Structure 1
C-alpha cells in the first residue's frame, strides 16, 4: 500500500481508477476493505482513494487521538496529494470525519455522502449499545459480544457476517488497547451547530434497523445540512451497501449523476 506521513502519523491508502478525486472513509475498527462494492463501481468514473484512518488498518497505531485528528489528517492528506477539491463518502465513523472536513473546509468538498451517520455522540455508538445490553453481554469475549449485538445492528446479520469474513481476510486485527483508543476518539463530539456551514451537495443514507446510528440520527444530520437529501433503506441496518447492494448502488449513482 502507498503511505504518507501527515501530522506526524503514517497513513496507508489504496487508489483506483482515474478522473476527479473521490475519498472513502471507513468505520470504527475497519479499513479500506469495507468499500469493496463502492470501489468497484466508483473507479469506473473517479480517482478513488480509500484511506486507512490513523489507528486502523495498516496505518500507524498511535496510543491517543481524537476525531479532530482524523479530520485534520484528511485535510493534510489532500494537501499531500495536491487535491484541491474532492468528493467524500464516509460510513459510520467515516461519516463523522467527513462531516468535520466539510464543516471546516467546505470549499474543498464537492459531493458528500454520509452513510449511517450521526452528528454528535457522548461515546462511540458501539460502546453505547454495549452499555444498553450489558446484562446480555456479561461473561462474553469482545468477539462474542459483537456477535450477540449483531441482531441489533443489522437487519440481515448472516449476510453481513458472510461478507465480513470474505473482505476481512487481510485486515489487521486491533488489539484491545487499540480498540479502546479508537473508541475514545469518538467521545464528546457535536457537529450540530456547525452543519449549516456545509456547501457540498449532500446525500445521507440510513438503515431502518440500525441500532448503532438509527434513522432519526441520519435524518437530523440531513435536516441540519442545507439542501441535503435523506434516504432510509427499508431492509437494512448498519450496512446498507451490503444488505441492499442494488438499491444502494442505484441511490448513490443517481445522486452523483444529479450533483
Structure 2
C-alpha cells in the first residue's frame, strides 16, 4: 500500500474472536463490528474472525468528512497491521459493497466472498416514511432495548414501526438482536458516515460490469421481502459473479440473519465446506 493511502487510513477498532483461517466481517449502515455477532460467534468456533468498526461507526471515531473509498484504505491498512495475507470477507449490506470493492482492489488477498443483503447496483423499494412510522419505531426501539423480545411491544409497536420493513418474522430472537446489536450501533453512527454513504448512492453507485474481474468463490444471500436492497438487485449481482452460489429466503427482509439465524449459518457452513479447497 502506498504512503498516500497509509497516511489517509484511520486506525479502526476491531473485535477479534477464535483461531484459524481469517474471516474479515464487515457491518452495514448503521452498524458496528458488534452487529455481526450472529456470524462471528458461530464462525469463530472454527476460524478467526475480525469485525472492525468502520470509520465513523462504533468506536472508530473520526473527525471531519470522508468518502466511501476511504473505507477501503482503512481496511487494507487493517489487514497490513494485523499481518493478514489472505482472508475470506463476509459483508452485510454496505459491508457487502465494501467486500466486493476489496476483492476488486486486492484479488490476491481475498479468497472468497459471503455477500449478505447487498448488491453491486443497490436498489430499494422502501415506501415513504411517515411521522407515525418514526414515532412507533422510537417507542418500539426504546421498549425493546429495555425488555428485549417483549411480545406485547412487538405486537403493539414493533409491527407498526419501521421494523416491519427490516424484518418479516417478528420473533423474540430478531428483536433480541435489534436490542443488543442494532440500537447501540445506530446511536454510535456518525453524521459523516451517513453523508459518505448517501453521497455514493446519489452518485448512482454501480459496479456490476467490474464483477467479472472477481475470480474467487462467492455466496450471495438475500431476503425475499428486502425493501432496502431488493432481492432482484442481489440476484443481478449474483448473475454477474462467475463462481457464485445464490440463496433467497422466503418471508424475510433486510435483517434476515437475525430472523432465521440457524438456517443462514447452516447454508454458510455448507458453502464453506464445499469450497474449502479454493478458499482456505
Normalised TM-score (structure 1): 0.85
Q: Find the counterpart in structure 1 of residue 264 from structure 2.
A: 248
Matches within 5 A, 1:1-40: 7-40=8-41
Question: In the alignment, is the contact (CA less than 8 A) between 1:116 and 1:213 conserved in 2?
Answer: yes
Q: Find the counterpart in structure 1 of residue 144 from structure 2.
A: none
Q: Secondary structure at the match of 1:181?
A: helix
Q: CA deviation at 1:223?
A: 0.4
**Separation in 2, partners of 1:86, 1:6:** 24
Q: 1:93 to 1:172 in 2, by over 3 A?
A: closer
Q: 1:7 to 1:153 in 2, by over 3 A?
A: same
Q: 1:216 to 1:62 in 2, by over 3 A?
A: farther
Q: Find the counterpart in structure 1 of residue 181 from structure 2.
A: 167
Question: In the alignment, is the contact (CA less than 8 A) between 1:107 and 1:199 conserved in 2?
Answer: no
Return the index of the structure with the highest Cα Rg: 2
**Separation in 1, partners of 2:186, 2:243:** 39
Note if 1:89 corresponds to 2:84.
Answer: no
Q: 1:70 to 1:48 in 2, by over 3 A?
A: same
Question: In the alignment, is the contact (CA less than 8 A) between 1:154 and 1:237 conserved in 2?
Answer: yes
Q: 1:211 to 1:171 in 2, by over 3 A?
A: closer
Q: CA deviation at 1:193?
A: 1.4
**Separation in 2, partners of 1:65, 1:179:** 8
Greater helix proportion: 2
Q: 1:249 to 1:140 in 2, by over 3 A?
A: closer
Question: In the alignment, is the contact (CA less than 8 A) between 1:12 and 1:51 conserved in 2?
Answer: yes
Decide which of 181, 188, 192 is 2:195's aligned counterpart.
181
Decide which of 133, 136, 153 is 2:128's aligned counterpart.
133
Matches within 5 A, 1:49-68: 49-68=50-69
Q: Secondary structure at the match of 2:251?
A: coil
Q: 1:256 to 1:177 in 2, by over 3 A?
A: same
RMSD of equivalent CA atoms: 2.7
1:203-234: CA deviation from partner (whole Å, max 9, x where unpaired): 00000111111211110111001021110011
**Aligned pair count?**
248
Q: Find the counterpart in structure 1 of residue 146 from structure 2.
A: none
**Separation in 2, partners of 1:63, 1:251:** 40
Q: Secondary structure at the match of 2:13?
A: strand
Gaps of 5+ in 2: 1-5, 142-157, 276-280
Note if 1:201 corresponds to 2:201.
Answer: no
Note if 1:221 corresponds to 2:221.
Answer: no
Gaps of 5+ in 1: none
**Separation in 1, partners of 2:7, 2:242:** 31
Question: In the alignment, is the contact (CA less than 8 A) between 1:6 and 1:76 conserved in 2?
Answer: no
Question: In the alignment, is the contact (CA less than 8 A) between 2:133 and 2:162 conserved in 1?
Answer: no
**Separation in 2, partners of 1:112, 1:38:** 14
Note if 1:151 corresponds to 2:164.
Answer: yes
Q: Secondary structure at the match of 1:11?
A: coil
Q: 1:168 to 1:214 in 2, by over 3 A?
A: closer
Q: Secondary structure at the match of 1:107?
A: coil
